[in-house]
Structure 1
Amino acid sequence: MTAPVTSLPPAPTGASPWVIERWTRSSITFASATVLLLAVLSLGPLWLQAGTVDRLTTLFIYVILAVMWNALAGYAGLVSIGHQAFFGLGAYAMVRLADAGLGPYPALLVGAMLVALVAVPLAVFMLRLQGGEFAIGMWVVAALAHLCVNLDTLVQGETGTSMIALQQYAADDRRAYTYWAALAAMAGLCWVVFWLLRSKVGTAAQAIRDNETAAISLGVRVVAIKRLVFVLSAFGCAIAGGLWLATSISFQPKTYFSVQWTAYMIFMVLVGGIGTMEGPILGALLFFAVETLWGGQGVLYLIGLGAIAMLFALFLPKGIWGAVQQRWDVHLLSAGYRVRSLPEHRADAGPATPQPGGRNSQA
């Protein structure tokens, strides 16, 4: 005697076969691993060699620069080739505040906040520009900032000056403090960007990037959103400039206001994947590895970076992580919503119709 065959109850009338979610098993695993990694890295100066601590500090600064430029260009659609302005102003503000008697590390934070305040009125003028006009306009701002800093007698023109206040710390202590400041700044700024992208601000910024006219018609406050991202990007780059000064001690305007800093940002974001959260971090890791291996090659190294960036722009425009997402639909730091198909409700139902982009898709 055979047992009766039972079937699943039919789906309720009108029930949707799809579910909208943000966190997936892979993203939860990655977030947990990231927290654990940050906890391990926070103990770095206690067990790592001095050279390794210095190199990791450099990596943290690169991640900050990549994430900040990507927030501006990849999500708000504002491509800048003059973000070295904020990098240099952050270092200069730190020098000035330290000379006024403020401690070096408080000066780093306060200086970045002052640069962000300067970016607020600057945004009023710069955000009137579109596309290439904005990019060139930012380069002009960087050149003007460079000239103005050179006029300061404390800086002594291109001769520059030294961050004497840092000499009050022993070399090992200064290395550890700078490392911890860079790690905290990187983690904090990445979290802020991630949080913004998961909020209405992030959705609005991406709408502006994709079609500003359509975003305006939907009631998006375009100017306010752009200004917020612009000021945040300025603050992050200023923090990076101050951290770089803390590692090198000397301040020379032509070094800090060099367009190479923006070139590095563009390279990291293009190679990693513009418009993604994971891409700039991956790009910073790759750039750091390339610099570590071949940075001593001088001009050939820079030519190689330019050639690689050009090849990626031509043949892999979405970058490495963009290609990974397109091919395998992997989202480790999902900033948007995802649509996932539910299991079949009926035992005799046929196979589900395949959806574009795989089982899940980014909304």
Structure 2
Amino acid sequence: MTAHVVRSTRSSRVALALSLAWLVMAASLPFWGEASWMREFTEMSAYFIFAMMWNLLAGYGGMVSIGQQAFFGLGGYTMVALANLAGIDPFVSIALAALLAGLIAVPVSWVAFRLQGGYFAIGTWVIAEVMRLTVANIDAVGGGSGTSLTAFRGMDRTLREHTTYWVALAAVVATLAGVYLFLRSKQGLALQAIRDSEVAAESQGVAVQRTKLAVYVVAAFGGGLAGALYFVSTLRISPDAAFGINWTAFAIFIVVVGGIGRIEGPIIGATLFWLLNKFFADYGTWYQIGLGLLAIVVAVAFRQGLWGWLQQRTGLTLFPTTRWLQPPAQAASDAAPGQP
């Protein structure tokens, strides 16, 4: 009996239907929701996009970076500079800032890829600090004290908030769809092969360096997009806020708690992070300590993250990136939940 390839599950098809329904509801939020809801969504969109990029880089590519805030800050500052100094529409500047972050990642990779393992992680942090110190000495963007986004002067506040929200929603959907389609492609399989063993992947004909560079550039593009989106919402930027290591720390928390190396991981992690941030952020230092302790507990008790733990026990796969062989006589309706 000839088998055929199955690339979706019952749970993934249900997830797709629910996602479309959520998208329709989310797109209509400005017509019935409160302004504070849109601001919170925009802020968490930046965290989610940044975490998705870190997951792609480290969880799927095996390149553990603690300096991705370099591209987050670069995206934010580029957006502000283009809007304030060049007179470009801030929403157009978001896309241009993301593109510039991706371009800057090419020469940066020449330095970063000379390092391996822990040296790579530390090296990326050093690169981020160099960028922070450089920007802090540029008077045109406020120097060390930062500057405000003044390009929105004269624009109706409601129009600005609604447009910012819709741009954030579009960025989230594009990020999720882009990462999912990439991981289902041959290039996605090649990336995961590199993560498991660069030598074995290269022996099978995988262009290791080219694939790593492509993923590094994509992660930088996404980081720049997240940074530009965040600061177009807050309307103010400073070197410490833009290039702070907290951005990567929060991304690692989101991915590790949710489930590293899984698309569902950042979704679960970002949702949990939003809840914790909403109800406990006022506790200051104790809130930071609590996040750290929670990350340690999850890392010890649930080594594959909360979604990984749930997936092991239920078989649920909302975003399948693997392939299964199934006899043609076996109807998809007979499959168990989460299985092809």
- Structure 1 pair 111/359, CA: closer, same or farther in 2 (3 Å)? closer
Separation in 2 of the partners of 1:59 and 1:261? 12
The residue number in structure 1 matching 2:78 is 93
Equivalent runs, 1:133-172 vs 2, <5 Å: 133-172=119-158
Out of 50, 70, 80, the residue aligned to residue 65 of structure 1 is: 50
Between the aligned residues of both structures, percent identity stands at 41
Matches within 5 A, 1:1-363: 15=1, 19-98=4-83, 99-340=85-326
Following the alignment from structure 2 to structure 1, what is the Cα–Cα distance between the partners of residues 8 and 161? 37
- Which deviates further from its counterpart, 25-34 or 122-131? 122-131
Q: Distance in 2 between matches of 1:329 and 1:90?
A: 38
Q: 1:260-313 deviations in whole A, cap 9, x for unaligned?
A: 000000000000000011111111111111111111110000011111111112
Deviating 4+ runs (over 6 angstroms):
341-344, 358-362
3-state SS, counterpart of residue 165 of structure 1: coil
Letter in 1 for 2:48: V
- Tell me the SS of whatever aligns to 1:154: helix
Would the aligned equivalents of 2:67 and 2:126 in 1 still touch at CA under 8 Å? yes
Question: Matches of 1:109 and 1:342 in 2, distance apart?
Answer: 45
1:109-129 residue CA offsets vs partner (Å, 9 max, x unmatched):
111111111111212221232
Q: Is the Cα contact below 8 Å between 1:329 and 1:361 reproduced in 2?
A: yes
Q: Deviations over 1:236-278 (max 9, x none)?
A: 1111111111111111111111000000000000000000111
Q: Which residue of 1 is the match for residue 333 of structure 2?
A: none
SS for the counterpart of 2:100 is: helix
Deviations 1:175-227 (A, max 9, x none): 11111111111110111111110001110000011111111111111111111
Does structure 1 conserve the Cα–Cα contact (< 8 Å) formed by 2:66 and 2:122? yes
- Counterparts of 2:243 and 2:102 in 1: how far apart (Å)? 17
CA RMSD of aligned residues (A): 1.8
Matched AA of 2:10: R
Using the size of structure 1 for normalisation, the TM-score is 0.88
Q: Partner letter of residue 260 of structure 2?
A: I
Amino acid at match of 2:131: A
Residues 1:89 and 1:310: Cα distance change in structure 2 (over 3 Å): same
Letter in 1 for 2:24: A
Check the 8 A contact 2:69/2:245 in 1, yes or no.
yes
Task: Give the SS at the match of 1:79.
Answer: coil
CA positional deviation for 1:157: 2.2
Question: Which whole-Å deviations, capped at 9, do the CAs of 1:61-105 have from their partners, x for residues lacking one?
Answer: 222111111000111001111111111000110111111111111
In terms of fraction of residues, the more helix-rich structure is 2
- Highest CA radius of gyration, 1 or 2? 1
TM-score by length of 2: 0.94
RCO higher in structure (CA 8 A, sep ≥6): 2
Assess if the C-alpha contact under 8 Å between 1:66 and 1:281 holds in 2.
Answer: no
Q: How many residues align?
A: 334
The unaligned stretches of length 5 or more in structure 1 are 1-14, 345-357
2:120 corresponds to which letter in structure 1?
Answer: F
Deviation at 1:155, TM superposition (A): 2.4
Q: Please, which moves more after superposition, 37-46 or 257-266? A: 37-46
Tell me the residue number matched to 1:5: none
8 A contact 1:341–1:360 mirrored in 2:
no
Does the C-alpha gap of structure 1 residues 97 and 320 become closer, same or farther in structure 2, counting only changes over 3 Å?
same
- 1:329 and 1:338, CA in 2 relative to 1: closer, same or farther beyond 3 A? farther
